[in-house]
Chain A
Amino acid sequence: MNQEWVLWLFEGIVVAAALMILFSRSVFHAGLNLLVVVLSIGVIFGLYGSEFLFISQIMVYGGGILVLILFATMIVANKNSLSSTESSIPVLIAAFGVIVIITTWVMAYQPNGVPYVIPTPDLGRKLILDYSLPLEVAGVLLLVSLIGATLSSIQKPVAP
């Protein structure tokens, strides 16, 4: 893998933007940093050779969830909800402790191997042939939740 330094670069960007989410006081800045995190994770998907997930991550997260979050931030967040943590010293201590302990635990497991690139036609064939029922169920779940979210967020309840 000759593009290894690109992988390290984007992993560093992911960790830095996630830490900025943890320590930011403004909800809007946290939403923009979440955009940086999800786009960098999309680039990591692309580096592992799955272009379909790269495009899906950008479309779903960058186009769907981020717009929802920023839109809801503009409606919901007001002055008294901006200071969202008491102080950052306990957050700093807890973040350092938890990350060091669990990362050390994970790093004890070291598999060896080279990443294998799964071609996109295999993915599509498997999605249609083996996973057609979960795909339909997920589509129904998406439809129901979007209709429910729309109905419950309009101004007046619908008259029966």
Chain B
Amino acid sequence: MNPIMSLPVLATVLFCIGLLVVIFKKNTIMILIGLELMLNSANLNLIAFSSYRADADGQLLILFILIVAVCEAAVGLAIALRVYRYYQTSIPENISELKETAS
């Protein structure tokens, strides 16, 4: 296989694994790790097609994706911390207090 073509395939596999982590794991931090995997697979696609087309725009987009990934991780982990302090759990399925407290 062409080495430049092996990178989108790797990105596809990584995106699928990240999506499956988001679907199957129950912990909030594991879901955030799956999101990071999906962002990294987008970065792999961007660098492959950036060097294939000899265009620097894709690599700059990788930089902005890195910045947004930092923001997402910081805010997501702060929310996870806050939720853990209030509900004493980090599993989103157990947080169901909003559902049936109408009394």
A residues whose Cβ falls under 8 Å from a Cβ of B: 1, 4, 7-8, 11, 14-15, 18-19, 21-22, 27, 30-31, 34, 37-38, 41, 44-45, 48-50, 52-53, 56-57, 60-61, 64-65, 68-69, 72-73, 75-78, 80-81, 84-85, 90-91, 94-95, 98-99, 102-103, 106-107, 109-118, 122-123, 126-127, 131, 134, 138-139, 141-142, 145-146, 148-150, 152-153
Contact = CB atoms under 8 A, between A and B. Distances in A.
Given A60-B69, A152-B79, 5 more contacts: A69-B73, A103-B12, A116-B51, A141-B68, A152-B78
Nearest to A8: B6
Contact of B9 (A44, A107, A117): A107
Contact of A91 (B14, B20, B37, B67): B20
Interface in B56-96: 56-57, 59-60, 62-64, 66-71, 73-75, 77-82, 84, 89-91
Interface SS, B side: helix
A54 B5 CA distance: 20
B29 A45 contact: no
Interface residues of B, number: 68
A61 B10 CA distance: 19
Interface of B: 2-10, 12-14, 16-21, 23-30, 32-34, 36-37, 40, 43-44, 47-48, 50-57, 59-60, 62-64, 66-71, 73-75, 77-82, 84, 89-91
14 contacts: A22-B17, A60-B69, A69-B32, A72-B81, A75-B84, A76-B90, A95-B16, A95-B20, A106-B9, A111-B4, A123-B60, A145-B71, A146-B74, A153-B82
A52 B50 CA distance: 14
